[in-house]
Amino acid sequence: MEVPRVTDFLAQNSLWVVLIVVLVVWGGILGYLFRIDKRLKQVEDEIRKS
Amino acid sequence: MGLRIFLGLWLSAVIIFGFSLPMVAQPQHWYDLPIIPGLAEKARIIFFHVPTAWLSVLAFLSSLFYAVRYLRKKEPIDDIKSASSAGIGFLFCFLATVTGAIWAKFSWGTYWNWDPRQTSIFVLLLIYGAYFALRSAVEVEEKRASLSAVYAIIGGVTMPFFMFIMPRILASLHPEPLLNAQGKVHMNTMMLIVFLASLAGFTALYYWMWSLHVRAERIHYQRSQIHGGASRD
């Protein structure tokens, strides 16, 4: 039995393509916020040590 | 805090409306979206992909503005603002490239085909990638700030060419931009409302992300000045 490929499924159900796009955008924004959080922790550690 | 909760609710509403408004061949109700030939449901990507490209334009222009201000006043805070804005611009430029490639796979059959839109945004990524390479290569703070300000101005000036002019000069498969060659907006009213709401929400989100980054970098800079000038990066 032939297993349908993910790309074939997405080609036929294009709303899922939009969902992937939204997840990519929010994943990027979340990654950036984690980076700022890490930076703030670094600054807080410096303040605590001094 | 209230404004941030409002922003979260606003962007959630954009996602809900962006996904749930029905797409029909002949819109009868105020909430109907038209089916765009060749795009179908994929047309909804406009609510999420275009704002990322818009934010990269906004962030690069903001970076240009603070770079000019730094060269005029030599205030380190302007360098921090310019670099933070360029960082967010790069992030959204990258997101616009990736989301555009995903869309291209299901519309054009391939992730990447060097369409003028793809080529121009790729060149922009290279330009701003080099900006961060330049910043990390110079250790003396004042020199780094001056050099990167000059580079941010060059990058900011060339950005409109790559973002707006080049894709319009060359034949492209990319769907017509919101403001078409005749200077008119061809979009269903409901679609336009959700799209503009998304643009407004993402713009506010950009401002919040930028101010968070600037605040963190400002504290770090002030501390490094007090404690003998530790390197910022």
The per-residue pLDDT for range B89-133, each reduced to its tens digit, is 999 999 999 999 999 998 888 999 999 999 999 999 999 999 999
Q: What are phi and psi of B146, to 5 degrees?
A: -65, -45
pTM of the model: 0.90
Task: For residue A33, tell me if it sits in a domain.
Answer: yes
Residue A13 lies in a domain: yes
A1: in domain: no
B232 interfacial to chain A (CB closer than 8 Å)? no
ipTM tops 0.90: no
Structural domains in chain A (count): 1
Residue A26 lies in a domain: yes
- In angstroms, the Cα distances linking B188 to B33, B35, B155, B198 are 7, 10, 35, 15
Cα B156 to Cα B43, B59, B60, B61: the distances in Å are 30, 9, 6, 6
Structural domain for A31, as ranges: 6-49
| DSSP classification of residue A2 | P
Residues of A numbered 1-40 whose beta carbons fall under 8 angstroms of chain B's beta carbons: which are they? 7, 10-11, 14-15, 17-22, 24-25, 28-29, 32-33, 36, 39-40
Residue B178: band (very low, low, confident or very high) from pLDDT cuts 50, 70, 90: low
